[in-house]
Amino acid sequence: MTQSQIKLESTWSILIRLLRWDKPAGRLILMIPALWAVFLASEGIPPLPLVGVIILGSLVTSAAGCVINDLWDRDLDPQVERTKKRPLAAKDLSVKVGIMIAFLAMLCCAILAFYLNSLSFWLCVSAVPFIICYPLAKRFFPIPQLVLSLAWGFAVLISWSAVTASLTLETWLLWGSTVFWTLGFDTVYAMSDKEDDLKIGINSSALFFGNYAPDAVGLSYLLTAILLGYLGFKLGLHLTFWLPLGIAFIGWIKQYLQLKQAEIPPFLYAKMFSDNVTLGFILLAGIILSQF
C-alpha cells in the first residue's frame, strides 16, 4: 500500500468518526421512531421508496447533527474524557473541513426532503433550528437533553405526515412517547459525563435532576410506555404489539432499578443506551407484525 493510499484510508476513517458512522447505535436510535411512525401511519406496508428516504434521511440528519455538535463543542470536547478524541477536538480535521462536511450533509437532507409532501417538507425545515441549537442549549438551558428530545420528535412528525399529509392525535401520542423516551435514554447517557460537565460549567439533565436523575429517567420511561399503550389502544393494535411493549417496559424497569444502585459501573451507561436500540427494534417488529 502506497503512502497516498494510507493517507486516503486514514482520512476516510477520520470522516467516518466525524459522522459517527463508526458508532451505529446513535444513528439507529434516531431511525427507530421514524420507522415506528411510517409503519403506524401506513396501517400496513408503506411504499418502499418512502421507507428508503426515511432511512437515508435519518442517517444523514444524524450525521449532520453530529458534525454541527462537534463544531460548536470543539473547545469543550477536549475537556471531556468521552469526547476528547473526536476529530475536531483532537484537531485531526480543520474547522473548514468540518463546516464543509456539515453543509454537504444538510444538502443531502434537503434533497431527500424534496421527495416528501409539502407538510413534511416544512416540518423538515422546522427541525433545522433544533438541530443547530441543541449544542448551544447546554450553555444556557438547564435541560439541554429536552431540546434534543424535541429534535428527535420531528422524526415522528415528518415520517407520519409523509404518509398521511396530516398530523392526528395518534401522531402526537407517538411524538410524546418519542420525546419522553429520548429524554430518558439521553439523561442516562449524560450521567456518564456528570463530573466533566460540572468541571467545565455546562448544563445537562443529569446535573439538573441530580440525585433524582434515576427517578427522572424512570418517569420518562413510564410516560413513554403509557403513551405507547394508549396509542396501541387507539389504533386497535394486536397482541403482536402488546407483547413487545411489555418486553420494552420490563427492560426500562430493569434500567431504572440499575440506576438506583449505590455504585454504577461506568460501562453500564453506554450499555443502557445500546439496550434502548434493541428495545426500539423489538417495538418496531411488534408494530410491523400488528399490521397483519
Q: Which amino acid is at 183?
A: L
How far lies 70's CA from each of 74, 87, 178, 185, 244, in Å?
Answer: 5, 8, 24, 20, 35
pLDDT at 45: 87
264 pLDDT higher than 90: no
pLDDT confidence of residue 6: 42
**Homologous superfamily assigned to 18-289:** UbiA prenyltransferase (1.10.357.140)
Sequence-distant (6+) residues with CB within 8 A of 114 are 121
* Residues in CB range of 49: below 8 A, 6 or more apart: 115
Q: Are 45 and 291 in contact (CB under 8 A)?
A: yes
DSSP-derived 3-state class of residue 40: helix
**How far is residue 263's CA from residue 197's CA, in Å, rounded to a whole number?**
20
Q: How confident is the model at residue 8 (pLDDT cuts 50, 70, 90)?
A: very low
- On the question of pLDDT at 29 being above 50, the answer is yes
Q: What is the pLDDT of residue 153?
A: 95
Residue 175: predicted pLDDT: 98
Mean pLDDT of 16-33: 89
User: pLDDT category, 9, cuts 50, 70, 90?
Assistant: very low
Q: How far is CA 143 from CA 114, 135, 136, 191, 222, in A?
A: 33, 12, 12, 13, 19
Distance between CA atoms of residues 104 and 222, nearest Å = 39
pLDDT at 24: 85
HSE-up of 267 (CA within 13 Å, CB side)? 0
pTM of the model: 0.93
pLDDT at 75: 87
Percent of the chain with pLDDT over 90: 71
**Model confidence band, residue 266 (pLDDT cutoffs 50, 70, 90):** confident
pLDDT in tens, 30-62: 899 999 999 999 988 899 999 999 999 999 999
Q: 132 versus 7: which is more confidently predicted? A: 132
Identify whether the C-beta of residue 151 lies closer than 8 Å to the C-beta of residue 130. Answer: yes
The pLDDT tens digits for 164-220 are 999 999 999 999 999 999 999 999 999 988 888 888 889 999 999 999 999 999 999
d(CA 159, CA 47): 12
Taking every pair of Cα atoms in the chain, the longest distance, rounded to a whole number of angstroms, is 62
| pLDDT tens-digit readout, 95-150 | 999 999 999 999 999 999 999 999 999 999 999 999 988 888 999 999 999 999 99
